[in-house]
Amino acid sequence: MADEDIERSLYLAPLAGLPATGAILPAFEVLVRLPGERVVSTIAGRSDLLAWADSEGSLVHKAVKRRLAGLESRCPPFAGLAMDGTQGRPHVMGIVNATPDSFSDGGRHLDPQAAVNAALAMVDAGATIIDVGGESTRPGADAVSPDEEIRRVVPVVQALAERGVLVSIDTRHAAVMQATVAAGAGIINDVTALEGDADSLAVAARLGVPVILMHMIGDPRTMQDAPRYRHAPLDVYDALADRVEACLAAGIPREALAVDVGIGFAKSVQHNTEILARLGMYHGLGCAQLLGVSRKSYIGRLSRGEPPLGRVPGSLATAVTAAGQGVQMIRVHDVAETVQALTIWHAIARSGPAGGDDPVWNDQSY
């Protein structure tokens, strides 16, 4: 078996500890793809895992060591923001939609000044990134022309950038990337992982700004038509690994890339929950990780059918779960609520056995 085959058959999802912070991780779910569609998984402590890998021969040993190294190394900064745990709680990215049809706040931010004011209030509430979008990517949405998208977003991006706000531009069009980076956007956030427009990869590489690569299959109009996976968490891992490789080949360095599993994009409720339970695994890709779950429909489906504005508690529950798996950026509509939830998560996590403030863990006397 070649190295590449082993890389695509053995995966590690951390069960405890914070990945990407340089900390040693104590235990893992070990997932192995068998020939055909089958995946088996087992739970192993770190030393048992290494002993098993040794007994399996050098290829498996090398693959396990490489996976471990990815999970246990410190993530470098992304867009100037710390990503290795020294940031404390995860960064919160506030969503500002300059669209008339966005599913949960459609129309509220169409006036550029109103969008800018909403964004500045989010910054006051603790957001470190503002994600500006001019095209709704909700399931079933119609496409918008890049010219119309540019008209909607450029004034907002420019006003925020002039005030020193770090802006990401949520777009799948190369022309919009170009216009908004010229207007001061500092991050490209592409739900198609730079595949939605033939020019995107080259344009993003030339612009030289950091890029968020999100996983999706198909496009927003068709993506919810019976999404199929062999094993959703592992297939998403491989697809993101392919996009990271494509970006590296185009000259975008790994530290300028962040990954996102794309919750709700070409995924059933069960796909979403299986992926959300294994977010730690994606740190093995060696990039910072962002998660967008705010007010998404799986929350209503798992709960009592609440409309978007009634899905804040489920959004917060998911954000806290993600923080515990080392996700460094959370994309949300409800910034103040999320900042509070994550601040409390962090105060508790840092006081615990792997948190750095724990008196027993830090006892230097023995």
Interface with ligand 7PJ by CB under 6 A: which residues? Answer: 137-138, 170, 189, 191, 212, 214, 260, 262-263, 290, 292, 296, 331
Residues labelled catalytic = 296, 331
* Residue of this chain nearest to ligand 7PJ (CB atom): 292
Q: Cβ 295 to ligand 7PJ, closest distance in Å?
A: 7
Q: Cβ 262 to ligand 7PJ, closest distance in Å?
A: 6
93: left (phi over 0), alpha (psi -120 to 50) or beta: beta
Nearer to ligand 7PJ, 207 or 263 (CB): 263
Nearer to ligand 7PJ, 189 or 200 (CB): 189
Return all residues near 175 (Cβ < 8 A) that are at least 6 apart. Answer: 146, 147, 150, 199
Nearer to ligand 7PJ, 21 or 99 (CB): 99
Q: Cβ 331 to ligand 7PJ, closest distance in Å?
A: 5
Nearer to ligand 7PJ, 262 or 280 (CB): 262
Q: Which residues of 263-282 are buried (b: 16+ CB within 10 A; e: fewer)?
A: bbbbbbeebbbbbbebbbbb
Return all residues near 190 (Cβ < 8 A) that are at least 6 apart. Answer: 170, 171, 172, 177, 196, 200, 204, 211, 212, 213, 214
Return all residues near 229 (Cβ < 8 A) that are at least 6 apart. Answer: 235, 236, 271
Q: Cβ 131 to ligand 7PJ, closest distance in Å?
A: 7
